[in-house]
Amino acid sequence: MKEFVQEVLEKSKAIQKKYSPFITIPEKIDLPKTKGRLTGIAISVKDNICTKDIQTTAGSKILEGYVPPFSATAVINALKEGAFIIGKTAMDEFGFGTFSVNCAYCIPKNPLDISRSCGGSSGGASCLTLAADFPHIALAESTGGSISCPAAFTGTVGLTPTYGRVSRWGLIDYANSLDKIGCIGKTVHDVTLLLSVIAGPDNYDSTVLDIPKEDFTLYLKEKIKGVKIGVPKEYFENVNEKIVKVVWNSIQKLENLGASYKEVSLPHTKYSLSAYYIIAMAESSTNLAKFCGMRYGLHLPLQGNYDEYFSVVRANGFGEEAKRRIILGTFARMAGFRDAYYLKALKVRTKVIEDFKLAFKKFDVLIAPTMPVVAPKFDEIEKLSPIEQYMMDILTVGPNLAGIPHISIPCGSVNGLPVGMHIIGDHLQEGKILQVAYAFEQVNK
Ligand code: GLN
């Protein structure tokens, strides 16, 4: 085991030189203390998930040097099953972004073409997953699409579970009502295995569901004959035509396996992006209030009164996107504007959930493209305004607002770059989406 871990460490350092997936690679890797389902597998941890004795920055300068005295429940669960932690992966600051370019430390490059993004905000996780030639699965996190997007842009598999399936204890909050820890791996089996290990009740998180642990790998063997697929028509609008074609071809492959499909409408889709960004920013602006240079991370020489000190720390520590979100989020929940923005967005969220609930009365799963484009080049991203960047999330925010499980799997390519297909299920129907994803993966090799 010792030699194997050392070899993985050397390989990770070489990958870091080429593609920068890590914010931190520990000097010394702790060897696993037990044997279990993850023995012989390296786990990377997105840098907003706390790891005992390993720096955890959430991609932000304001947390530089923060070494948590504890690990997140998801991390503890993985370690108990014999995994070892290879490092902390790069991300947009606090999860604020879609391309991992808003990271204060490094920007992961897509191993398929280093002039392109690995997606975000879990870009380091998808980058490493693709580049690693050793057994590895990534612990990642999604608020509005941060697992699916990087999986789609790198041709890897990204699984976002039902909200509350995995404990959020030890996760640095972006937007509490939306945040979910999930996994990115090379195969459907990999992400299914890791989910089986990390999901389950936890006394430390009052929002985690009180549902016993389950072995989701058992679903992978089931046939998909008779499975009913809904194809939400709004999710094919404003999507690159070639991507649309690849996804429809994939739906046909599922039909050949005995599934049936029908178009369905999710009429509130067009409002979901605005609702998502108002809710996410409102919640994040309150969450970031605790970063004031007194308790965690960045400290500066104490000067002036408290307000003056913390203004200097926050001006220095937060990046541009975090500042934008603090201002917009604070505005959206201010007395006088709260009804017009925040409360309205919550109502829209309910409508989005109702759309999905109605669809799941008729269908087992919904299938759509994951992203409207393939992995963009960094110089293309630079030209996008913040709103244009937010618009890239149009297909991922719906399932995230609803807290329903979804998986992005590679389903083909456009101009040599991978296309992700989203398989979306009803609350707690991880088994169904994994079953369909696995069946597809077997015929799409
Ligand atoms: N791109 C989205 C955002 O910036 C989603 C990010 C995430 O899921 N963490 O909010």
Tens digits of per-residue pLDDT, 150-159? 999 999 999 9
242 part of a folded domain? no
* Preceding peptide of 121 cis, ω within 30°: yes
Nearest to 372 by CA among 407, 396, 349, 401: 396
pLDDT(122) > 90: yes
Ligand 1 pocket test, pick from 48, 49, 96 with the greatest ligand atom count within 8 Å of Cβ, gives 96
181 part of a folded domain? yes
15 part of a folded domain? yes
Residue 285 is predicted with a pLDDT of 97
CATH number for the domain that contains residue 17: 3.90.1300.10
Residue 1 pLDDT grade (very low, low, confident, very high; cuts 50, 70, 90): confident
Count of H-run helices and E-run strands, the chain: 14, 11
Nearest to 30 by CA among 74, 97, 87, 110: 87
pTM for this one? 0.98
Ligand 1 nearest atom to the CA of residue 321, by list position: 4
Tell me the backbone φ, ψ of residue 4, rounded to 5 degrees. Answer: -60, -45
In the numeric block, the tokens 């990115």 are attached to 184
107 part of a folded domain? yes
Q: Is 280 in the pocket of ligand 1 (CB under 6 A)?
A: yes
Q: Is 95 in the pocket of ligand 1 (CB under 6 A)?
A: yes
106 part of a folded domain? yes
CA distance 78 to 60: 25
Fill in the DSSP letter of residue 116: B
- Once rounded to an integer, what is the mean pLDDT over residues 16-29? 96
- Give Cα 374 to chain centroid, integer Å: 17
Residue 422 is predicted with a pLDDT of 98
Residue 296 is predicted with a pLDDT of 84
Check: CB of residue 259 under 8 Å from CB of residue 226. Answer: yes
Residue 56 is predicted with a pLDDT of 98
Residue 171 pLDDT grade (very low, low, confident, very high; cuts 50, 70, 90): very high
Residue 222 pLDDT grade (very low, low, confident, very high; cuts 50, 70, 90): confident
Q: Is 160 in the pocket of ligand 1 (CB under 6 A)?
A: no
pLDDT(141) > 90: yes
Q: Round the average pLDDT of the chain to a whole number and report it.
A: 97
Q: Is 145 in the pocket of ligand 1 (CB under 6 A)?
A: yes
Residue 226 pLDDT grade (very low, low, confident, very high; cuts 50, 70, 90): very high
- Once rounded to an integer, what is the mean pLDDT over residues 47-52? 98
Higher pLDDT, 246 or 27: 246
Nearest to 401 by CA among 351, 365, 359: 351
CA distance 181 to 143: 9
DSSP assignments along 12-50, one per residue: HHHHHHHH--EEE--SSPPPPSS-STTTT-EEEEETTB-
Residue 368 is predicted with a pLDDT of 98
Out of 12, 20, 44, 46, which one is annotated catalytic? 46
Structural domain that includes position 92: 2-219
46 a catalytic residue: yes
Q: Is 146 in the pocket of ligand 1 (CB under 6 A)?
A: yes
Residue 297 pLDDT grade (very low, low, confident, very high; cuts 50, 70, 90): confident
- Give Cα 109 to chain centroid, integer Å: 17
Distance 95 CA to ligand 1 centre (A): 6
Beta-carbon count within 10 A of 443 CB: 11
CA distance 36 to 276: 39
Q: Where are the beta strands (DSSP E) in 131-218?
A: 136-142, 157-160, 180-185
CA distance 421 to 418: 10
In the numeric block, the tokens 């017009």 are attached to 340
CA distance 170 to 47: 11
Count of the separate structural domains present in the chain: 1
Q: Is 276 in the pocket of ligand 1 (CB under 6 A)?
A: no
pLDDT(335) > 90: no
Out of 44, 117, 121, 122, which one is annotated catalytic? 121
Residue 149 is predicted with a pLDDT of 98
385 part of a folded domain? no
Element (H, E) at 263: strand 260-264
420 part of a folded domain? no
The percentage of residues in the chain with a pLDDT greater than 90, rounded to a whole number, is 96
In the numeric block, the tokens 């541009």 are attached to 320
pLDDT(295) > 90: no
Out of 44, 122, 126, 146, which one is annotated catalytic? 146
